[in-house]
Amino acid sequence: MIYAVGDIHGQSESLDRALRLIEADGGAHARVVFVGDYTDRGLDVSGVVDRLLSGLEQGRNWVVLRGNHDRMFVRFVRDGVAVDPRIKSGKGWLHDALGGKATLVSYGVDLPVQGEEITDPALVAEIAAEARAKVPAAHIDFLASRALWHDEGGLRFVHAGLRPGVPMDQQDEDDLIWIRDGWLDSDADHGPLVVHGHTALDHPAHYGNRLNIDGGAGFGRPLVPVAIDGRTAWALSESGRAPIRPE
């Protein structure tokens, strides 16, 4: 049995609840895979990252992958880059819709009030410099070093998905953390069941060839941990297991 947790987005209380549910179902040494997006939108990004980092240091049986929001955070702190070309709307990481400002505030970075997005280059550079001073280097190094995908037990875990028909060693990093077009509408057999997040739903959903476990915690919905055995999956709650049947 393997457990998986979708996009957390700074929701530390939801993470604590998910871990309690997993431990109640599978014990303290349960195998857990986190599929990325620990940052942005929520109020306690620093707490979430610290919990995951500390858990691995303590020897927890966890795999922690990287998501697109995690990469945006790393790039901003390290290089002052606030815009990712994969965002079709052109919005930057410091736009309210992306949630980067919430991440910075969780680390004590002071932000000016300036509409929905901070775009002035001098101001962006000033904020990035303050972020480098206040965000622990260990957090940035941790996020930057996360793997992009993980295979185990007939399952393939990845943040966003993959380009159908392309071998894993030839997949583009941007696809693994950003893809939707050509992925969500594909009914191809990918071999392993692909477990992913990135595209927020109201509840985890099984599509036969893939399992989307992003229940929308970044938008205020519950973080739903999932138990997986082969190609069979269950959502965990205080009431126990509920099957997630292929649609």
Residue 41, domain CATH: 3.60.21.10
Whether residue 176 is predicted with pLDDT greater than 90 in this model: the reply is: yes
Are the CB atoms for 55 and 62 separated by under 8 Å? yes
Domain holding 166, by residue range, is: 2-70+142-244
Of how many residues is the chain composed? 247
Q: Averaged over 81-95, what is the pLDDT? A: 93
Whether 128 is in a domain gets the answer: no
Q: Which residues contact 207 (CB under 8 A, 6 or more apart)?
A: 187, 246, 247
Whether 91 is in a domain gets the answer: no
Whether 114 is in a domain gets the answer: no
Cα–Cα distance measured from residue 92 to residue 111, given in angstroms and rounded to the nearest whole number: 15
Whether 61 is in a domain gets the answer: yes
Cα–Cα distance measured from residue 217 to residue 177, given in angstroms and rounded to the nearest whole number: 17
Whether 136 is in a domain gets the answer: no
Whether 84 is in a domain gets the answer: no
Scanning the chain, the segments in alpha helix (DSSP H) are 12-26, 45-57, 68-79, 100-106, 121-134, 137-144, 173-178
pLDDT tens digit string along 225-245?
999 999 999 999 999 999 999
Q: Model's pTM, two decimal places?
A: 0.96
Whether 137 is in a domain gets the answer: no
How many separate domains does the chain show? 1
Whether 185 is in a domain gets the answer: yes
